[in-house]
Structure 1
């Protein structure tokens, strides 16, 4: 099989396109002929070596990537409910490696059929894992209630942009987005279901007296601290990323007890393997949201040989949605 291999921790240039033996699924696994692999910031962070000492994450040389769409190639022992040739997509939580290849092996429990859904595989791998993340985060962690107000940072980001549709499906009364001034016009012109989008640099002044019950923050840095000033009493902030790259920023915890606020971290990669029974209902809810047209996600597609360029674009913030790799 073709694979883009991280040969060492470092800059994007550490990738090497190579040929590897086709992987064989073990018990409870499926092998997938990959049509699309999603590239995520977590892939970038692992490649950079930010998590090199964390147990369970790969060490070079390895094939990165968590999420793929394609067709079932082979079934491992004990797997039923799938057939050879069936179109499928994986959710997050399948591990941290293996997707940047023409064949990927994943856990069957983290794999969902696309048969009969009418959802395009590219959109599925771009949107479904993040929509599942949004559904589980909003229902199981933030406990979003009908009528509550939601604020989403990084409005057009690959993860952020699925939260409005999922939040509306759960009964949110309004959803406001934020974006940097340079991308504000694009965010306002998109069909992502925001009531309004404001500049993150002017967050407090732009929102005025508006207060939010749930804040979605995949950005981090100063916007995280600024958000505390626009949260309603008993407000919950979901920390789902650090797109700003500001790893030194800290939050004044005295502002939490003084404002009756909560900061809640959520990483689906660690959550789903411990709760596989939640995959199916989350996938069904996410596919319904996508099928209703509540997800407007810009995608860029590059061949596997351009994994270096894909990572460069993520690092310089020029994606504005999700970037996908195709084996051919």
Structure 2
């Protein structure tokens, strides 16, 4: 099979096109002939070495990539509910490697059909770009933040690959309103997007712009000062979901006495660590994601590059020039 291999921790130049043996599925696994592989910020962090030495995460040489779309190639022992040749998409619960290749292995529990009632007609590029993130949004909002109908949601980094899934999923769960924030340079594009935000504000002064308005759930994939400023606009019993750190401030802290005095909660959620422990949640979350996509509520911008340009995909993410998601085609 063709693969893009990370040969060492470091810059995007560490990628090397490589021919590897076709993988064979183990018990409970499937192999997939990959048509599209998603590129995520977590792939960049892993390649940079930010998680170097952490148990369960890959060390060079390895093939990155958490999520793929394609067709089932072969079934491992004990796999039911899928068939060879079936179009599928995987979620972020099968480890942190293997997707940047022409053939990938995935846990069957994390693999969802695109051939059934929910997924029929969904383009595989959109599926791999949107389904894993929309499933993550669904789980974060239901299992962690416990969003209730009629509540108001604030989403930072509103055009980002993960963040852009939250407004549509929140709408399907009955949110009364969804506001987004972006960098000032992206305001015009964000306001013109088809994502179901009621409004989009500049991130640098969103708290002042909101005045006395308060939010029950804040979704923060950005971190840094945005995280602290969000405490000012949270309603009593409000919940902040930490789902990333795209701003790159790894030293930032939150004043915990503010949480105590304001009756606020800050909750972290990482699907890649949660789903392997709770695989029974994966397919219901994927179905909820496909429902939101089918209603046109997850309109994400998808950029497609050939697998040979994996390094360029990472460079674009590092530059912050991707509004949406990049997918690779083997």
Deviation at 1:208, TM superposition (A): 1.1
Deviation at 1:157, TM superposition (A): 0.3
Deviation at 1:311, TM superposition (A): 0.2
Query: 1:246 is paired with a residue of what secondary structure?
Result: coil
Deviation at 1:282, TM superposition (A): 1.1
CA distance in 2, matches of 1:214, 1:31: 38
CA distance in 1, matches of 2:194, 2:279: 32
CA distance in 1, matches of 2:154, 2:252: 20
Partner of 2:80: 80
Partner of 2:71: 71
Q: How do 1:147-226 residues align onto structure 2 when only pairs under 5 Å count?
A: 147-226=150-229
CA distance in 1, matches of 2:164, 2:263: 27
The correspondence for 1:324, drawn from 319, 324, 327, is 327
Query: 1:83 is paired with a residue of what secondary structure?
Result: coil
- Find runs of 4+ consecutive structure 1 residues off by over 3 angstroms: none
Cα RMSD between the aligned structures? Answer: 0.6
Q: Structure 1-normalised TM-score?
A: 0.99
Query: 1:92 is paired with a residue of what secondary structure?
Result: coil
Q: Which runs of 5+ in 2 are unaligned?
A: none
Deviation at 1:225, TM superposition (A): 0.4
CA distance in 2, matches of 1:23, 1:53: 25
Q: Structure 2-normalised TM-score?
A: 0.98
Q: How do 1:209-288 residues align onto structure 2 when only pairs under 5 Å count?
A: 209-288=212-291
CA distance in 1, matches of 2:141, 2:19: 41
CA distance in 2, matches of 1:75, 1:288: 27
Partner of 2:90: 90
Query: 1:70 is paired with a residue of what secondary structure?
Result: strand
1:9 matched to 2:3? The reply is no
CA distance in 2, matches of 1:222, 1:14: 32
Partner of 1:304: 307
CA distance in 1, matches of 2:220, 2:39: 19
Q: Which runs of 5+ in 1 are unaligned?
A: none
Partner of 1:25: 25
CA distance in 2, matches of 1:156, 1:204: 19
Deviation at 1:250, TM superposition (A): 1.2
Query: 2:115 is paired with a residue of what secondary structure?
Result: coil
